[in-house]
A = this chain, B = another copy of it.
Amino acid sequence: MIGIFDSGIGGLTVVRGIMDAMPGYDLVYFGDTARTPYGTKSSRTVIEYCLQNTEFLVKNGAKMIVMACNTASSVATDAVRDSFDVPVFEVVTPAVERCLAATKKGVIGVIGTRATIASGIYEKQIMEKNPQAKVYCAPCPLLVPLVEEGWLKKPETNMIVKKYLHPLKVRQIDTLILGCTHYPILKNIIARKIGKRVAIIDSSTAMAERVKAFLTENPDFDEKLAKTAAARFFVSDITPQFRKTAKWIVGRPIDLEPANTEGLS
């Protein structure tokens, strides 16, 4: 089946994208809610956690790995690919490709966690493919807690989004990458604050398309994947708030199962 992991609950936006784009595929999800968030932590720590998460998914039947977390994708992709013999998908490349197809002036904004922005991965990938591009990045560390609190329509959230986007707005970007799986949930506010003319690239739907394209191109591999529409959702910690947020992202109640990954790998 398809294995998907995230630092917590936000990666369920990718699950939703995959379920919408490819209904019927069996999924196993792991959300590291006991150690969330990753975006404020060091690369070394995030890499260690990602190796443990991947090992857990592979042991639970995953034949391919989707890293549904921009922080993990930014710092741990090479380590995960080097350590496991399954296809590994990260969320950065599909977003960059979609962004380069969308931009007209090549003036691109990227928002993400502190760790994602510090990694410089979006800038690097964009410049490799389009050396003429101008890339402006802004870390938005408070957006994850605001989403997890469900503060989607509060004036404070509006103000904070506006403050974070201001340096990108003055640069007159024409395309904005939402470089964190939590941000699609704030897409309406972000769109309003950055302005109508800016194309918004949602990494969670870009990722789902990428996975779908891979399976179309690799029918032999695709054949090996179960398609009984079964889905299991493991998390390293369960609280009422996590349940609430999960239900609300996926759009229906899901059964969260406890899992312990510490000490793995």
Contacts from A to B (Cβ < 8 Å): 33-36, 40-42, 44-45, 114-115, 141-142, 145-146, 148-149, 151, 155-156, 159-160, 163, 236-239, 241, 262-263
Contacts known (A142-B146, A149-B142); A237 close to B156, Cβ less than 8 A:
no
Instruction: For A158, give the chain B residue with the smallest CB separation.
Output: B156
Contact (Cβ within 8 A) B34 A239: no
Contact (Cβ within 8 A) B42 A238: yes
Contact (Cβ within 8 A) A149 B141: yes
How many copies of this kind of chain does the complex include? 2
Instruction: For A141, give the chain B residue with the smallest CB separation.
Output: B149
Contacts known (A34-B45, A142-B149, A145-B141); A241 close to B156, Cβ less than 8 A:
no
- For A263, what are the chain B residues with a Cβ–Cβ distance below 8 Å? 262-263
A239–B41 Cα distance when bound, in Å, is: 6
Q: What does DSSP make chain A's interface, helix, strand, loop or mixed?
A: loop
Instruction: For A36, give the chain B residue with the smallest CB separation.
Output: B40
- For A34, what are the chain B residues with a Cβ–Cβ distance below 8 Å? 35, 41, 45
Min Cβ gap A219→B in Å is: 41
A-B contact pairs, 5 of them (CB 8 A): A33-B41, A34-B41, A34-B45, A145-B145, A156-B159
Contact (Cβ within 8 A) A241 B114: yes
- Starting from the known contacts A41-B239, A156-B156, 17 additional A-B residue pairs (CB-CB under 8 Å) come to A33-B41, A34-B41, A36-B40, A40-B239, A42-B239, A45-B237, A114-B239, A115-B239, A141-B145, A141-B149, A142-B149, A142-B151, A156-B160, A156-B163, A262-B262, A262-B263, A263-B263
Min Cβ gap A165→B in Å is: 14
A44–B159 Cα distance when bound, in Å, is: 36
A238–B160 Cα distance when bound, in Å, is: 26
A149–B113 Cα distance when bound, in Å, is: 12
Min Cβ gap A168→B in Å is: 18
- For A114, what are the chain B residues with a Cβ–Cβ distance below 8 Å? 239, 241
Contact (Cβ within 8 A) A237 B159: no
Indicate which residue in B33, B40, B148 contacts A241 across the interface (CB closer than 8 Å): B40
- For A35, what are the chain B residues with a Cβ–Cβ distance below 8 Å? 34-35
The 9 closest A-B pairs by CB, nearest first: A145-B145, A45-B237, A263-B263, A35-B35, A34-B45, A41-B237, A42-B239, A156-B156, A156-B159
Instruction: For A146, give the chain B residue with the smallest CB separation.
Output: B142
A35–B109 Cα distance when bound, in Å, is: 30
